Amino acid sequence: MLTHELAANVAVPNDLEAFWMPFTSNKHFKQEPRLIARAKDMHFTAVDGRQILDATAGLWCCNAGHGRPKIVEAVQRQVADLDFAPSFQFAHPKAFELASRLAALFPGDLDHAFFTNSGSESVDTALKIALAYHRVRGEGTRTRLIGRERGYHGVGFGGISVGGMVKNRMWFGSLLTGVDHLPHTLDIQKNAFSKGLPEHGAELADELEKLVALHDASNIAAVIVEPVAGSIGVYPPPKGYLERLRAITEKHGILLIFDEVITGYGRLGKGSAAEYFGVQPDLVTTAKGLTSGVVPMGAVMARKHIHDTIVGAQADPKVIELFHGYTYSAHPLACAAALATLDTYQEEGLFERAAELAPYWQEALHSLRDAPNVIDIRNIGLMGAVEMSPYPGKPGHRAYDAMCKAFHDFDIMIRITGDTIAMSPPLIVTKAQIDEIMEKVRGVIEAVA
């Protein structure tokens, strides 16, 4: 039972039972809760007043940091002016302004934005756009979708079907039919402690040719991958892998979807992983950093020919071209937050800052190589992961204990997946704070040795 409150009058509930928490060990959390009252810049404030260093940008999303004035003020103004406007047959000006800003940000002819409310919705939207595109082109047999082992594409039925994280899939039946998976790219035996892109594994993209031989290209609609697999524990792609995947999909007329819910908006020091790697996908799913986590929002960026093919298929201008959307697509508050977030990124040079800090982040992260039970370290941009060996017979427990100790004893927030500690600090992080993150993480790793 929790009965205290912060001096600043932040009420703390004394009944934690009613909230069924997502992706959480509910029983254990409610025995030892980790409650947050406030956030500013690089820190959360716990309900007991402790400052918690944010090494994860919240949930891979608060790229501009917390409580940034321009974003806060934009949302405050917007809710007073226009709290809601429908996007079905109506619209508001900021939706068009934001779409144009995103079209300018993303590379090539990724010129059209379809707004959603989360990464999960963005994934399902992109899959539906891919199916619709082939159908209106007269290739309606192209219905098969291909994901990748250990991939995370949200929690909609489409996303968990093409996703490849076992626990997200095993409880929910047969999922979508007609889905296959490429092998994942993690190879600790060959690539352990790689700095940046691993040397080995580009040939894994060629596994797509086997799936084409099995199903025939005429039945395959799209391949979806994270350019950098994030939620599974930061798997940078092997050198040349994404280029080979793009070449194979183009050869067979298969759409390539990049899931950039994590990598978008500066995480790699560019607006997108597509720009960072110089690989042009057909569709890009985004969310998280689009609003720096302030208001839920996502966007699917589509290449011009995909949009024009679907919209142009209807001769009657009064007929709906794509029967898809959400009540809160392009919500006014979300659009205001996103526009102010993009302004903040640009005015403060945060993408460039991330690129400049990436080498320092890399060396600091790899300094943990000699910490006990560390079996691999992976990094790219301002993303990083430290993989530990599991407790004997208890996979996942070492990292879980690390997460709890990090919050309660070391005043730092980390993410965990399996026995991996994942980190992705806000782009406003300083070199001194990077050093502080690594010092605290080393202490956490030693505490669970």
* pLDDT digits 0-9 by tens, 52-65: 999 999 999 999 99
Please report whether residue 331 resides in a domain. yes
Q: Are 336 and 354 within one domain?
A: no
Q: Are 330 and 439 within one domain?
A: no
Q: Are 215 and 272 within one domain?
A: yes
Please report whether residue 288 resides in a domain. yes
Please report whether residue 414 resides in a domain. yes
Residue 421 belongs to what H/E stretch?
strand 420-423
CA angle at 100 for the pair 99 and 106, rounded to the nearest 5°: 85
Q: Are 126 and 238 within one domain?
A: yes
Q: Are 222 and 307 within one domain?
A: yes
Confidence (pTM):
0.96
Which domain CATH number covers 242? 3.40.640.10
Please report whether residue 158 resides in a domain. yes
Q: How far apart are CA 125 and CA 159, in angstroms?
A: 10
Q: Are 416 and 43 in contact (CB under 8 A)?
A: no
pLDDT tens-digit profile, the chain (449 residues): 344 444 445 777 778 999 999 999 999 999 999 999 999 999 999 999 999 999 999 999 999 999 999 999 999 999 999 999 999 999 999 999 999 999 999 999 999 999 999 999 999 999 999 999 999 999 999 999 999 999 999 999 999 999 999 999 999 999 999 999 999 999 999 999 999 999 999 999 999 999 999 999 999 999 999 999 999 999 999 999 999 999 999 999 999 999 999 999 999 999 999 999 999 999 999 999 999 999 999 999 999 999 999 999 989 999 999 999 999 999 999 999 999 999 999 999 999 999 999 999 999 999 999 999 999 999 999 999 999 999 999 999 999 999 999 999 999 999 999 999 999 999 999 999 999 999 999 999 999 99
Q: Are 301 and 388 within one domain?
A: no
CB count within 10 Å of CB 337 equals 26
Please report whether residue 19 resides in a domain. no
Residue 144, beta-bridge partner list: 220
- Residue in 92, 90, 66, 91 with CA at minimum distance from that of residue 78: 92
- Cα R_g (the chain), whole angstroms: 22
Q: Are 224 and 243 within one domain?
A: yes
What SS3 class is residue 155? coil
Please report whether residue 11 resides in a domain. no
CB count within 10 Å of CB 362 equals 18
Q: Are 142 and 219 in contact (CB under 8 A)?
A: yes
Q: Are 219 and 299 within one domain?
A: yes
Residue 336's domain comprises 71-347
Distance of CA 431 to the CA centre of its chain: 24
**Which of these three, 294, 328, 347, is where a domain ends?**
347
CB count within 10 Å of CB 70 equals 16
- Phi and psi dihedrals of 235, rounded to 5? -110, 95
Number of domains in the chain: 2
Q: Are 315 and 234 within one domain?
A: yes
**Which of these three, 323, 347, 371, is where a domain ends?**
347
Which domain CATH number covers 408? 3.90.1150.10
Residue 14 is predicted with a pLDDT of: 78
Please report whether residue 179 resides in a domain. yes
Q: Are 302 and 362 within one domain?
A: no
**Which of these three, 298, 324, 347, is where a domain ends?**
347
Q: Are 167 and 141 within one domain?
A: yes
Q: Are 85 and 49 within one domain?
A: no
Residue 413, beta-bridge partner list: 54
CB count within 10 Å of CB 62 equals 29
Please report whether residue 225 resides in a domain. yes
**Which token pair is 399?**
């990292």
